């Protein structure tokens, strides 16, 4: 686009107060987009990515968005002068779009998106996306209480159009991006508070983190010892885990063990695929953002990282935490290439197990119960920096034994 005012299109609710926000992030999907749309919307690629159009009149919000790589902005008629002003003063090139009556235009007056107001379930049912000439459709949902996000997703299922929804907060945006597992192609975030920019960026960072494999290494068990009684933590998640999945836990942040979930059948207790018997209250557990926290700090609503044998990771929500006094066993391990010993304390029970390295294509040996663990057995370990401040890795000298 020749115009300095290039911007990612964003839909503006025409019958609600206008909250404008500037920002854009794109995650590629399987739908084809026209050359025009591609030229208008700069994007950053991520697996299962979505497009975010943001509308604001606050320069601080705009600047914060640009600093995070979002550079497409929407402007309504009363604020079109901001497009020129921001183009001259912004820290990076911005790409503006302009909101008209039921449409969004680029700097050359070409329509790049249609805006559709929906206020009742009946209006949604009558909607025919393929009748719209624009390849981008922005749905302005006027009543969240009447039309759930799932209805919007279902209405546009299998449509060849790229469909967006107006969101007034990060929490609304998440619903549209995740509803019915796939979500819409993107959202239009309309805010004036910079915190929404930070929250949305954090959300996408977590999505990107999930697409990256976590580096796991083999370690050899060097010592096993009954340790007495202690307060151990069972972490019950809001998600089910499969064989080979669990939580990263350890006595030292520098070395976290992959503790298996209770998803396997046992002669002693029914399968509980939502639970990890993770260890005592002092232990570290991996959480999103490369951080750790103490098991004692977990509670309902907190997030943890679920990891499998291959290092694939995903975020899961904690539903409940149970702390009870139980007999413990100490397990120490060491990598072949490292003289440092790392350890974990776990409940001394048949249902508690450590995940083993995958054996080629055959993953038959998923985990070893701590009651069957022997010196010389191989388990999986996550090696990382040991110095931590409030769960964040820092560079400083530290000795933990």
From 256, 199, 278, select the one nearest 388 (Cα to Cα). Answer: 256
Q: Which residue has the higher pLDDT, 370 or 252?
A: 370
298 — pLDDT class (breaks 50, 70, 90): very high
From 332, 327, 246, select the one nearest 285 (Cα to Cα). Answer: 246
Tell me the domains of the chain and their CATH numbers.
21-210 (3.20.20), 217-393 (2.170.16)
Q: Is the pLDDT of residue 102 over 70?
A: yes
Cβ atoms of residues 204 and 25 within 8 Å:
yes
Q: Which residue has the higher pLDDT, 89 or 11?
A: 89
In the numeric block, which tokens belong to residue 20? 């404008």
pLDDT of residue 401: 61
109 — pLDDT class (breaks 50, 70, 90): confident
Rounded mean pLDDT, 357-373:
79
pLDDT of residue 159: 75
Residue 69 falls in which region: left (phi positive, over 0), alpha (psi -120 to 50) or beta: left
CA distance 141 to 163: 12
Rounded mean pLDDT, 280-298:
94
Cβ atoms of residues 19 and 191 within 8 Å:
yes
CA distance 400 to 355: 24
Of 39-43, 115-119, 127-131, which range is least confident? 39-43
Rounded mean pLDDT, 332-361:
88
The strand pair at 284-287 and 291-294 is best described as antiparallel
Rounded mean pLDDT, 2-11:
35
Q: Is the pLDDT of residue 358 over 80?
A: yes
Q: Each residue of 260-277: pLDDT tens digit?
A: 999 988 777 889 999 999
306 — pLDDT class (breaks 50, 70, 90): very high
Q: Is the pLDDT of residue 307 over 70?
A: yes
pLDDT of residue 140: 86
The answer to whether the predicted template modeling score (pTM) of the entire model surpasses 0.75 is no
Q: Which residue has the higher pLDDT, 31 or 134?
A: 134
Cα–Cα distances in angstroms (integers) from residue 303 to residues 245, 269, 293, 317, 369, in the given order: 16, 27, 10, 5, 26
Q: Is the pLDDT of residue 212 over 70?
A: yes
11 — pLDDT class (breaks 50, 70, 90): very low
What is the residue whose two structure tokens read 């299922």?
A: 157
Rounded mean pLDDT, 165-171:
89
352 — pLDDT class (breaks 50, 70, 90): very high
Q: Is the pLDDT of residue 37 over 70?
A: no
Q: What is the mean pLDDT of the chain?
A: 80
Q: Each residue of 122-139: pLDDT tens digit?
A: 887 777 766 667 788 888
């Amino acid at each position: 686009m020749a115009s300095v005012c290039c911007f990612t299109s964003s839909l503006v609710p025409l019958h609600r107060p206008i909250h404008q926000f500037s920002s854009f992030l794109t995650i590629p999907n399987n739908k084809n987009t026209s050359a025009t749309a591609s030229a208008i919307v700069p994007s950053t690629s991520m697996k299962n990515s979505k497009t975010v159009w943001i509308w604001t009149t606050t320069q601080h919000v705009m600047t914060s968005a640009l600093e995070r790589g979002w550079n497409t902005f929407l402007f309504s008629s009363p604020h079109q002068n901001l497009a020129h002003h921001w183009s001259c003063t912004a820290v990076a090139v911005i790409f503006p779009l302009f909101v008209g009556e039921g449409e969004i235009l680029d700097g050359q007056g070409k329509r790049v998106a249609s805006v559709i107001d929906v206020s009742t379930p009946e209006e949604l049912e009558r909607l025919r996306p393929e009748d719209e000439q624009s390849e981008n459709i922005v749905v302005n949902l006027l009543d969240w209480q009447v039309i759930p996000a799932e209805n919007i997703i279902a209405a546009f299922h299998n449509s060849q159009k790229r469909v967006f929804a107006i969101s007034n907060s990060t929490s609304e945006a998440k619903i549209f991006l995740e509803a019915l597992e796939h979500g819409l192609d993107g959202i239009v975030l309309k805010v004036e508070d910079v915190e929404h920019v930070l929250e949305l960026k954090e959300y996408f960072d977590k999505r990107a983190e999930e697409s990256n494999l976590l580096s796991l290494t083999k370690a050899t068990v060097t010592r096993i010892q009954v340790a007495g009684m202690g307060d151990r933590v069972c972490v019950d998640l809001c998600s089910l885990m499969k064989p080979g999945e669990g939580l990263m836990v350890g006595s030292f942040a520098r070395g976290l063990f992959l503790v298996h979930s209770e998803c396997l059948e046992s002669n002693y207790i029914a399968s509980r695929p939502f639970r990890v018997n993770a260890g005592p209250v002092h232990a570290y557990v991996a959480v999103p953002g490369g951080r750790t926290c103490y098991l004692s700090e977990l509670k309902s609503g907190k997030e943890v990282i679920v990891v499998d044998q291959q290092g694939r990771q995903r975020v899961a929500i904690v539903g409940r935490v149970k702390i009870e006094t139980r007999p413990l066993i100490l397990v120490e391990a060491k990598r072949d290439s490292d003289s440092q010993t790392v350890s974990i304390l776990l409940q001394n029970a048949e249902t508690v197990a450590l995940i083993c390295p995958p054996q080629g294509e055959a993953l038959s040996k998923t985990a070893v119960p701590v009651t069957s663990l022997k010196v010389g057995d191989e388990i999986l370990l996550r090696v990382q920096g040991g110095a931590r401040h409030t769960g964040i890795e820092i560079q400083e000298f530290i000795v933990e034994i």
